[in-house]
Structure 1
Amino acid sequence: MSLEFTPDPLLYPFESRWFDSSRGRIHFIDEGPTSATGPPILFCHGNPTWSFLYRDIIAALRDRFRCIAPDYLGFGLSERPSGFGYTIEEHARVVGEFVDHLGLDGYLTMGQDWGGPVSMAVAVERADRVRGVVLGNTWFWPTDALTMKAFSKVMSSPPLQYAILQRNFFVERLIPVGTQHQLSSAVMEHYRAVQPNPAARVGVAEMPKQILAARPLLQRLAREVPATLGAKRTLLIWGMKDFAFKPGPMIPRMRATFPDHVLVELPDAKHFIQEDAPDRIATAIVDRFGTV
């Protein structure tokens, strides 16, 4: 299943590109000169978003960095292939294929929400090719927090799965409560349009189940991220009003994992930091990695 939707070039002023992975066709953007003064950056989104989430950050950085943002299978403009399970392990394998296809070397990796586990799963297997790490409002270890476990169980229940698939619950309810300011109708339409019907939302519906179901992968990342990536130069960017990834329990573990880090707190930002503070994020990336 593919989508017939063309983003507004005023909101998403990028050329759409495509990669035929072993599991399905991926949409991505690749902006900025390959000879950019800064290293390439791989931007990994979460749920229920797509590369559109990073649009303002990429527009601000593409003169200095090569900015690459894929849509996972089942998200954005990428295919919804039959037979794909939409697990985090599968997403990571496909994104890894994509990174290898582009031949990325000396790259920065940025992840938010599920983009954290996906980007880290890709990076631990290519640690010698990773120049630096950017993480914000995310995690990469098995959750023991009662709130996250409860969220996973509730969102996996038949009534909420119905709401996600039939009512587009994640877009209609969670994006608005996860942003500091009300998004414009045009921006919201770009999140709605890539999930026009229940068949297009299967990947979105699977991700909350993965909070618990992906425990084996998260256990592995909890060991391998500190071992293989812990010494990398790191930028931590946190929306301090996030209801899902509260700074109190999350930031200390991130700081302990990456000793060579800079922490940028976004005092008013909620979960979707790319919508709430794109300029601050772009500036922080330039300050941390612009002269690498």
Structure 2
Amino acid sequence: MTKAGVPAAVKPSSSSLYVRQVGRGVPVVFVHGTPSSSFEFRHVMDALAGDHRCLAPDHLGFGQSPKPPDADYRVVAHQRRFGETLDRLDLEPAIFVLHDFGTAIALPWMLAHPRRVRGVLLCNTFLWPAQGPLRWLFGFYSTAFGRWLYRVGNLSAKYLLPSAWGTAKPLDPELHAQYLAPFADRDSRYATAALPGELVGATLAEMEPQSSALGQWPVRAVWGMSDPFLGSRELDRWRQILPGLVVDTVALAGHFVAEEAPETVQRAVRALSARPNVEIQPH
């Protein structure tokens, strides 16, 4: 069986997305954020592959997808490309594992196709603009100088990623190098440089009221509690939005909980796939 680390993939053209695929069975769609890719889900995908069809697109500008310098890397463009990719994959009702920007990117397609969603797993994710000190920080990174830091210094993958890591699974130099590899030079970093502005822009503010719509499906969360960016306050916010949300917390995991605590994530996916699929009526 092909391992998710060496995937059977849908290879991209100049503007289409690379899709990591492994396994057969109940479909599971993994949606990454920044500065990451489908790579972060490989251990969870391998653990599920015996009875799940696991698919994880790399957004344009990330992972093994193309990184054109003149592309639109705003969230709305990622949403469109993600939707076009899923439309080509002929999915049965799927479980969606949403990390970081993944909720904002996947939700429009999910709301447009409610019957093709079987369940949702939230992993250190958000659907609202940055607030407090983080709003100031990412506002600075969205300036011309901030974008220059992202591109020239590889600020996101080189510095912010390790700062968001917990202690459940150490980020050793070899593993960090694998996360750095897709952003090898400044011309491969346009996508990471574009997203800080999205954290303080209008798109997330406009989407925030849609967050409660996730409650129409079975939904769970796995949360790394040592995440300095999306910690207990953001988890509490999800609990208020989605009463009865079932949460598995991982005290020592940071932002990249699928990498840091893959066993917990794959158990949560299995809990969702064990439920009977209930057809959702479109609104």
> TM-score under structure 2 normalisation?
0.89
Alpha-carbon distance between aligned partners in 1 of 2:205 and 2:145, rounded to the nearest angstrom: 29
Residue 195 of structure 2 is matched in structure 1 by: 207
1:247 aligns with 2:240: no
Contact 2:222 2:264 in 1 (8 A): no
Counterparts of residues 1-292 of structure 1 (less than 5 Å):
12-20=5-13, 24-33=15-24, 36=25, 39-143=26-130, 145-181=131-167, 182-213=170-201, 215=202, 217-227=203-213, 229-248=214-233, 250-259=234-243, 261-292=245-276
Residue 279 of structure 2 is matched in structure 1 by: none
- Runs of 4+ residues deviating >6 angstroms: none
Alpha-carbon distance between aligned partners in 2 of 1:261 and 1:177, rounded to the nearest angstrom: 28
How many pairs does the alignment contain? 273
Residues 221 and 156 of structure 1, relative CA distance in 2, 3 Å threshold:
closer
Contact 2:141 2:196 in 1 (8 A): yes
Q: Deviations for 1:189-225, whole angstroms, at most 9, x for unmatched residues?
A: 2222211111100001101111112x2x323432334
- What amino acid maps onto 2:27 in structure 1? P
Q: Deviations for 1:65-109, whole angstroms, at most 9, x for unmatched residues?
A: 111000000111111235421000100110011111112231111
Q: Is the partner of 2:249 in helix, strand or coil? A: strand
> TM-score under structure 1 normalisation?
0.86
For structure 2, the 5+ residue unaligned runs are 277-283
Q: Is the partner of 1:40 in helix, strand or coil? A: strand
* Range with greater deviation from structure 2 (237-246 or 253-262): 253-262
Alpha-carbon distance between aligned partners in 2 of 1:218 and 1:163, rounded to the nearest angstrom: 23
Q: Is the partner of 1:176 in helix, strand or coil? A: helix
Q: Is the partner of 2:52 in helix, strand or coil? A: coil
Alpha-carbon distance between aligned partners in 2 of 1:161 and 1:219, rounded to the nearest angstrom: 22
Alpha-carbon distance between aligned partners in 1 of 2:211 and 2:146, rounded to the nearest angstrom: 33
RMSD: 2.1
For structure 1, the 5+ residue unaligned runs are 1-8
* Range with greater deviation from structure 2 (115-124 or 181-190): 181-190
- What amino acid maps onto 2:19 in structure 1? F
Q: Is the partner of 2:55 in helix, strand or coil? A: strand
Contact 1:234 1:260 in 2 (8 A): no
Q: CA deviation at 1:19?
A: 4.5
Contact 1:11 1:55 in 2 (8 A): yes
Contact 2:120 2:217 in 1 (8 A): yes
